[in-house]
Amino acid sequence: MKNIKNWVFDLDNTLYKAECGLFDKVHILMGKFIEEKLGLQPGEAQDLRTQYYHKYGTTLRGLMSEHNIDPDEYLDYVHQINYDVIVPNKSLSESIKNLDGKKYIFTNANYGHVVKVLDKLKMTDAFDGCFDISESNYVPKPHIDIYEDFQKKFKLPNNETAMFEDLHINLKYPYELGWKTVWITNNLEYNLNRDIKTQSDIEKVMNEKKYINYTTDQLENFLNTLK
Ligand SMILES: [Mg+2]
């Protein structure tokens, strides 16, 4: 990681731990939105989400493609949650600030959500820039074009960039670009990586997927070892 001058962080379940339950609340509202908008029962809404997740990568892309849903209406709805479950993390904020170079947020959520989360974490001043899903026409990571749009916005050289993410699939293309990739594996019982429950599942992924340079369940400690 010696050459790294650009530090790219996913937001949700990367900068805070999933067990605070914030993302669970978002997921409940995603289901409710579909039930209300499309007139479905909870089970049917869940089935549709699973179907869209596999076909489009996110529920939102499916809703936009197949039901012409306004993305901002959806994102505003699903983020009407109480953010108080996120508590300040000054030491992580300091660890990020102490990294040599620029720091960015790269998220599949929207700015409104980013601002609220960073405010609660007391990390607003730790970052030099943010790329949200509206900037990629609501196409999410791991779609390849999005990384290129992100890279163009901040002019990131491949050999000087590292990315931190809790969803390992989102690290595949960055690795191919030549970025260093760090998979955040905390919150196993809460994580969104399907089928990863134990340490041996993590090792299996590390052995099978060749696009992960490092893994850590303690982001702050990991960053502190880079000094
Ligand atoms: Mg995440």
Would you list the DSSP string of the chain?
-TT--EEEE--TTTTS-GGG-HHHHHHHHHHHHHHHHHT--HHHHHHHHHHHHHHHSSHHHHHHHHH---HHHHHHHHT-S-GGGS---HHHHHHHHTSSSEEEEE-SS-HHHHHHHHHHHT-GGG-SEEE-GGGGTTPPTT-HHHHHHHHHHHT--GGGEEEEESSGGGGHHHHHHT-EEEEE---TTT-SSTT--SHHHHHHHHHH-TT-SEEES-HHHHHHTT-
Query: Ligand 1 centre and the CA of 98: distance in Å?
Result: 22
What is the pLDDT tens value at each position of the chain, 227 positions in all? 999 999 999 999 999 988 888 988 998 999 999 999 999 999 999 999 989 988 887 889 999 999 999 999 999 999 999 999 999 999 999 999 999 999 999 999 999 999 999 999 999 999 999 999 999 999 889 999 999 999 999 999 999 999 999 999 999 999 999 999 999 987 666 655 567 778 888 888 888 989 999 999 999 999 999 97
Query: Ligand 1 centre and the CA of 16: distance in Å?
Result: 9
Domain ranges of the chain: 6-16+86-224, 22-78
One fold for 6-16+86-224 and 22-78:
no
Query: Ligand 1 centre and the CA of 59: distance in Å?
Result: 15
Pick the CATH number of 6-16+86-224 from 3.40.190.10, 3.30.43.10, 3.30.750.24, 3.40.50.1000: 3.40.50.1000
Query: Ligand 1 centre and the CA of 100: distance in Å?
Result: 23
Query: Ligand 1 centre and the CA of 226: distance in Å?
Result: 22
The CATH fold of domain 22-78: DNA polymerase; domain 1 (1.10.150)
